[in-house]
A and B are shown apart, each in its own frame.
Chain A
Amino acid sequence: SQQGEEDPQALSIQEGENATMNCSYKTSINNLQWYRQNSGRGLVHLILIRSNEREKHSGRLRVTLDTSKKSSSLLITASRAADTASYFCATDAPGNRDDKIIFGKGTRLHILP
């Protein structure tokens, strides 16, 4: 069962540019999380935003959440080669009574030198 869906599926930008990825979901949530995965590695947590929050920042990362549109965006400013990775959004499951989360299929970001 897929809750979140990222857009675009793949994105290539020049180093130094900003990268924006979007996530849409179907049902109401308590939290939305963003994770990064370098090729062949485990996932690394980036940001968790709660349903009563609209925006969060962490270094060069900015996450927004619009619960009325059931969507979130991840902005990476001043991109670097090391930002090349897949980015996943994840939400708690509908009617969630535990801690499991559901991942989207991800956006593959490639930073060009």
Chain B
Amino acid sequence: DGGITQSPKYLFRKEGQNVTLSCEQNLNHDAMYWYRQDPGQGLRLIYYSQIVNDFQKGDIAEGYSVSREKKESFPLTVTSAQKNPTAFYLCASSMVSGTGAFYEQYFGPGTRLTVT
């Protein structure tokens, strides 16, 4: 079964702790993305990667970090520097067209992070 998985589905952390969200895909996609979604809002891009060992900041990268050591994996770390980390986090992947976003994105089921 090809797809994209995120774990865990729910995550609870105390303020001041770093936390890492997992994202794995077996679709053989080169591009992977992390989005944040707040209640009643659209998706905002945190980081994206178009190739292994390379990634770019999105619109709201402050307080987050990523790595892309393997094609299949793109973990996101929410650091203690992120002022308001409680949100729904979505990971996605796609083929790469190079320009113009010609391919659809495939999404994981999401991780709901609650920081208290």
Identify the A interface with B (CB < 8 A): 1-2, 30-31, 33, 40-45, 48, 50, 88, 91-93, 96-106, 108
Contact = CB atoms under 8 A, between A and B. Distances in A.
Interface centre among B42, B88, B102 (most CB of A within 10 A): B42
Contacts of A48: 102-104
Contacts of B105: 33, 43, 45, 101
Q: What's the interface size class on B, roughly?
A: 20 to 34
Contacts of B106: 45
Interface of B: 31, 33, 35, 40-45, 48, 50, 56, 58-59, 88, 90, 92, 94, 96-110, 112
A16 B107 CA distance: 29
Given A92-B101, A101-B101, A42 B107 contact: yes
Contacts of A92: 100-101
Contacts of B100: 30-31, 92, 96, 99
A97 B102 CA distance: 11
Given A42-B108, A45-B106, A99-B31, 16 more contacts: A2-B42, A43-B90, A44-B107, A92-B100, A92-B101, A96-B100, A98-B48, A99-B48, A99-B96, A99-B97, A99-B99, A99-B102, A100-B48, A103-B35, A103-B43, A104-B42
A22 B44 CA distance: 20
B41 A43 contact: no
Contact of A98 (B43, B44, B99, B108): B99
Nearest to A102: B45
A105 B42 contact: yes
Contacts of B97: 99
Contacts of A106: 41-42
A67 B19 CA distance: 43
